[in-house]
Amino acid sequence: MFEKDGQKMAVSRWISPKRTRSYPYERVYDTLAHKGKKVAIIPVVKDEGSGGDRDFIQWDTIPLLSLLDVHVVLAYYDDAIKNPKREDKITKQKFKNEFIKAKLDEILNFEGNARNWNETESKNLKNIFEKAKLAYRDISKKTNTYLHSEKQIDERIKYAETPKRFIGYSRRKSRKAQTREFLTIQPNEALSTLSKGKITITNALFGKYYFTVDETIIEPKIISLIEAKHSRRSKMPSKNDIKDGLIKMMIYTNLQNVKFGKKNVKHKVAIRLTSSKIDGSISSNASDSDLESFATKNLLKSRQLNFLKKLFKEANTNDFTIILEEGKTSK
């Protein structure tokens, strides 16, 4: 939470610009109940060193957050230390805090909505990429650590000169990432069917999202889109995983003009929670007495039962389904 002169904003800090790393949706979800302004601070690039990952922001992260009424601050890391366990990696990266504080002050005084702010902020992409590039040069010298080649960040600086060029460039990258995800079977997923699907979503805020859904069920006139979350050690998947799924539900439940191929279809959405420690199955459509019986049978603690009740209430209020049942991962 950021507060100044009696005004409060709910703030989430993304550790990585990649939407599928480090649970950024969970951080965003935790800010959505705030009645005032909501902010997501996102690094435009995160380089962990030549022996680690490097992630860049995708254009459509910005309109996605506009859709959720969240203001975006495009940020960059300007400090880090050498990873004590790996000579070719850095760790404990820190944002340029003076820069972020100035941006938060601007948002407090900004009179438009999140979409207006984000459209203006997106025009700063080239400038922030350039700042990030110089900052990582300094970090490399300070830590005596080789980072990734500057070729890819230079490429993004070139394309970010005009939003239209960067959008096209970024979406080509997103489509390739979607294909990689579609072809990947996660060993810790407990899927009831091998029916992973690609979803391409276009919205009124000029966003285009290339998602994959863990399972699909295709009927003559209805398609079911199912997000799957699994736990091997606990009776329910982590709250991080579940909140990630809830953000997807916010998007999927509001889809209109859904097509399977070229055919118009209706759609249903669900989160399928599985655990190796659960016996039987329960869904958000169950009665209170059935839920109590399921909790007793599986020796759920009171906090687990209360959390499940809140999840089921959210599902019923927002027209999606949550299922909790036994599931086993592939060997």
pLDDT of 56 over the 80 cut: yes
The confidence score (pLDDT) of residue 207 equals 65
Instruction: Indicate whether 189 pLDDT > 60.
Output: no
237-249 mean pLDDT: 89
Q: Kindly report, residue by residue over 272-285, the tens digit of the pLDDT.
A: 999 989 999 999 99
3-state SS assignment for residue 270: strand
Half-sphere CA count of 71, side-chain side, radius 13 A: 26
Nearest to residue 160, comparing CAs of 186, 183, 187, 133?
A: 133
List pLDDT tens digits, range 109-123: 999 999 999 989 988
Pairing of strands 71-75, 37-43: parallel
Q: What is the mean pLDDT of the chain?
A: 86
- pLDDT of 157 reads 92
pLDDT at residue number 22: 74
CB 8 within 8 A of CB 108: no
pLDDT at 285: 94
| Predicted pLDDT of residue 250 | 87
Please give the residue that has the higher pLDDT: either 165 or 29: 29
pLDDT over 50 at 187, yes or no = no
* DSSP bridge partners of 241: none
Q: How far is CA 261 from the centre of its chain?
A: 26
pLDDT band, residue 330 (cuts 50/70/90): very low
Whether the pLDDT of residue 137 is over 60: the answer is yes
CA distance 144 to 161: 31
Q: What is the mean pLDDT of residues 133-140?
A: 97
> 215-218 and 54-56 as β-strands: parallel, antiparallel, unpaired?
unpaired
Q: Is the model's pLDDT at 191 over the cut of 90? A: no
Q: What tens digit of pLDDT does each residue of 248-257 get?
A: 898 888 888 8
How many helices and strands in the chain, by DSSP H and E? 10, 17
